[in-house]
Amino acid sequence: MAFASALKCRECGREYPTDPLNVCEFCFGPLEVVYDYEAISRVVSRERILNGPLTMWRYQDLLPVDGDNAVDLQTGFTPLMKAPNLGRMLGLDHLYIKNDAVNPTNSFKDRVVSVASTKALEYEFKTLACASTGNLAGSVAAHAARAGMTAYIFIPADLEKGKVIGAAIYGPTVVAINGSYDDVNRLCSELADTYPWAFVNINMRPYYAEGSKTLGYEVAEQLGWQAPAHCIVPSASGSMFTKIWKGFKEFEDLELIPKVHTHMHMTQAAGCAPIAEAYEAGVTRVRPVKPDTVAKSLAIGNPADGYYSLKTIQESDGDATIVPEEEVVTGIQMLAETEGIFTETAGGVVISGLKRLVERGAIKRDEVTVAYITGNGLKTLEAVEHTVKPVTIDPTTASFEAEVLSA
Amino acid sequence: MAKLRVRFTFTPELVQEPIIWQLGQKFSIVTNIRGADVREAFGWALLELEGDAEQINQGIDWVRSTGIEVQLVTGDVIE
Ligand SMILES: Cc1ncc(COP(=O)(O)O)c(C=O)c1O
Ligand SMILES: [Zn+2]
Quick: pLDDT tens for A348-380: 999 999 999 999 999 999 999 999 999 999 999
Residues B44-66: what's their mean pLDDT?
Answer: 93
My answer on whether A267 and A336 are in the same domain is: yes
Q: Which residues pair with residue B7 across a beta bridge?
A: B46, B71
Residue at A281 is within a domain: yes
**Count of CB atoms within 10 A of residue A360's CB?**
10
Local confidence band at B35 (pLDDT 50, 70, 90 cut-offs): confident
How close is the Cα of A304 to the center of ligand 2, in Å? Answer: 15
Rg of chain A on CA atoms, in Å: 21
**Distance from C-alpha of A199 to C-alpha of A193, rounded to nearest angstrom:** 10
What pLDDT, on the 0 to 100 scale, is given for residue A75? Answer: 98
Residue at A366 is within a domain: yes
Give the CA distances from residue A153 to residues A51, A190, A237, B59, in Å, rounded to whole numbers and listed in that order.
36, 15, 19, 26
- Cβ distance of B77 and A306 shorter than 8 Å: no
My answer on whether A239 and A272 are in the same domain is: yes
- Cβ distance of A190 and B3 shorter than 8 Å: yes
Considering only CA atoms, which of A271, A204, A217, A178 is closest in space to residue A44? A217
Summarised one tens digit per residue, pLDDT across range A208-225 is: 999 999 999 999 999 999
Using the 3D structure, point to which of A152, A179, A208 is the last residue of a domain: A208
* Cβ within 8 Å of residue A2, ≥6 positions away: A60, A63, A64, A65, A66, A67
Residues A317-341: what's their mean pLDDT?
Answer: 98
Amino acid in the structure at residue B60: I
- In the Cβ-directed half-sphere of A377, how many Cα atoms lie within 13 Å? 19
Rg of chain B on CA atoms, in Å: 12
Q: Give DSSP secondary structure letters for A111-148.
A: HHHHHHHHHHHHTT-SEEEEE-SSHHHHHHHHHHHHHT
My answer on whether A157 and A184 are in the same domain is: yes
What pLDDT, on the 0 to 100 scale, is given for residue A309? Answer: 98
* Domain extent listing, chain B: 2-72
**Distance from C-alpha of A387 to C-alpha of A403, rounded to nearest angstrom:** 19
My answer on whether A117 and A18 are in the same domain is: yes
Is the CB of A349 inside a 6 Å radius of any atom of ligand 1?
A: no
Pocket test for ligand 1, best of A297, A345, A372 (most atoms within 8 A of CB): A297
What pLDDT, on the 0 to 100 scale, is given for residue A179? Answer: 84
Summarised one tens digit per residue, pLDDT across range A212-263 is: 999 999 999 999 999 999 999 999 999 999 999 999 999 999 999 999 999 9
Residues A101-127: what's their mean pLDDT?
Answer: 98
Q: Which residues pair with residue A130 across a beta bridge?
A: A153
Domains identified in chain A, total number: 2
Residues A248, A269: contact at Cβ < 8 Å? no
Residues A99, A341: contact at Cβ < 8 Å? yes
Interface test mutation site (partner B, options A190, A290, A293, A308, max chain B beta carbons within 10 A): A190
**Distance from C-alpha of A2 to C-alpha of A17, rounded to nearest angstrom:** 14
Residues of A with Cβ-Cβ distance to B3 under 8 angstroms: 190, 193
Is the CB of A376 inside a 6 Å radius of any atom of ligand 1?
A: no
Over 90: is that where the pLDDT of A166 sits? yes
The interface predicted TM-score of the complex, written ipTM, equals: 0.86
Class of the CATH domain delimited by B2-72: alpha beta
- Cβ distance of B76 and A303 shorter than 8 Å: yes
Give the CA distances from residue A323 to residues A277, A287, A305, A327, B50, in Å, rounded to whole numbers and listed in that order.
11, 18, 20, 7, 41
The share of chain A scoring above pLDDT 90, in percent, equals 91
Pocket test for ligand 1, best of A100, A135, A266 (most atoms within 8 A of CB): A135
Residues of B with Cβ-Cβ distance to A154 under 8 angstroms: 78
Summarised one tens digit per residue, pLDDT across range A49-84 is: 999 999 999 999 999 999 999 999 999 999 999 999
**Distance from C-alpha of A400 to C-alpha of A238, rounded to nearest angstrom:** 50
Residues A165-174: what's their mean pLDDT?
Answer: 97
Is the CB of A346 inside a 6 Å radius of any atom of ligand 1?
A: yes
Residue-wise burial string across A208-227, b where 16 or more C-beta atoms lie within 10 A, e elsewhere: bbbbbbbbbbbbbbbbeebb
Over 60: is that where the pLDDT of A1 sits? no
How far away is chain A from the Cα of B18, in angstroms, using its nearest Cα? Answer: 22
My answer on whether A9 and A138 are in the same domain is: yes
Pocket test for ligand 1, best of A374, A379, A380 (most atoms within 8 A of CB): A374
Residue-wise burial string across A365-388, b where 16 or more C-beta atoms lie within 10 A, e elsewhere: eebbbbbbbbbbbebbeebbeeee
B78 → closest Cβ in A22, A27, A181: A181
My answer on whether A217 and A185 are in the same domain is: no
My answer on whether A118 and A216 are in the same domain is: no
Residue at A267 is within a domain: yes
**Distance from C-alpha of A205 to C-alpha of A20, rounded to nearest angstrom:** 9
What pLDDT, on the 0 to 100 scale, is given for residue A289? Answer: 93
Local confidence band at B10 (pLDDT 50, 70, 90 cut-offs): confident
Domain of residue A133, CATH code: 3.40.50.1100
- Cβ distance of B77 and A201 shorter than 8 Å: yes
A-B Cβ pairs (cutoff 8 Å, strict)? 84
| Domain of residue A91, residue span | 80-106+212-387
Element of type H or E holding A156:
strand A150-156
My answer on whether A219 and A281 are in the same domain is: yes
My answer on whether A202 and A311 are in the same domain is: no
**Distance from C-alpha of A244 to C-alpha of A219, rounded to nearest angstrom:** 9
Using the 3D structure, point to which of A176, A193, A208 is the last residue of a domain: A208
**Distance from C-alpha of A64 to C-alpha of A118, rounded to nearest angstrom:** 10
**Distance from C-alpha of A331 to C-alpha of A108, rounded to nearest angstrom:** 19
Residues of A with Cβ-Cβ distance to B5 under 8 angstroms: 23, 28, 189
Q: What is the mean pLDDT of chain A?
A: 96
My answer on whether A100 and A172 are in the same domain is: no
How far away is chain B from the Cα of A45, in angstroms, using its nearest Cα? Answer: 34
What is the DSSP code (8-state) at residue A373?
A: E
* Cβ within 8 Å of residue A287, ≥6 positions away: A274, A277, A278
My answer on whether A174 and A219 are in the same domain is: no
Q: Give DSSP secondary structure letters for A259-322.
A: ---PEEEEEEEGGG-HHHHHHHHT-SSPPP-----S-GGG--SS-TTHHHHHHHHHHTT-EEEE
Give the CA distances from residue A279 to residues A136, A294, A319, in Å, rounded to whole numbers and listed in that order.
27, 22, 7
Over 90: is that where the pLDDT of A167 sits? yes
Considering only CA atoms, which of A79, A77, A85, A161 is closest in space to residue A114? A77
Cα B70–chain centre separation: 6
Residue at A263 is within a domain: yes
My answer on whether A320 and A382 are in the same domain is: yes
* Cβ within 8 Å of residue B38, ≥6 positions away: B10, B15, B44, B45
Query: Any CB–CB contact under 8 A between B53 and chain A?
Result: yes
